Amino acid sequence: MEKHPIILFDGVCNLCNGAVQFIIERDKKRQFRFASLQSDFGQQYQQQVGAAVDSILLVKNDKIYQKSSAALRIARHLDGLWPLLFLFIIVPPFIRNSIYDWIARNRYRWFGKQDSCWLPTPDLKALFLD
């Protein structure tokens, strides 16, 4: 069992990178660790689970959460009023994930894409697994 929940994200997606920075700013307890899906860790993890992933993943207590379930569980652990978003977990996953998938399909067009993964500052480097 991992000590910290791990968030795997699309490292070239501007929306995803913005989300990681948003999470870091609101995770005052430094609970989360991060790895891009393109990193060695992210690639090895995808091989372990036997699936190529293009959405956010949360690995917590040996369980894997994807898409809206991952996002809502992450919000649950942030400072401020963000944990209130977890109330949306009562919405059936097929509804939540259809909205998530629509945003994911359009994320590069709406928010852009980088040529390489975002690099954390030296003081944040310890939060990244790769």
Q: What backbone phi and psi angles, to 5 degrees, belong to 13?
A: -85, 125
The per-residue pLDDT for 52 is 65
The per-residue pLDDT for 1 is 43
Between CA 68 and CA 75, with CA 74 as vertex, the angle to 5 degrees is 90
Q: What backbone phi and psi angles, to 5 degrees, belong to 2?
A: -75, 150
Give the pLDDT confidence of 5-14 residue by residue, as tens digits: 999 998 888 8
Give the pLDDT confidence of 11-25 residue by residue, as tens digits: 888 899 899 999 999
The per-residue pLDDT for 117 is 65
Domain spans, the chain: 6-122
**64 has which bridge partners?**
59
| Residue 128: burial class (beta carbons within 10 Å; 0-12, 13-18, 19+) | middle
Q: Is the pTM of this model over 0.75?
A: yes
- pLDDT per residue of the chain (130 residues) written in tens, 0 to 9: 458 999 999 888 889 989 999 999 999 999 999 999 888 888 888 877 766 677 789 999 988 898 999 999 999 999 999 999 999 999 999 999 999 999 999 998 999 888 766 667 777 888 888 7
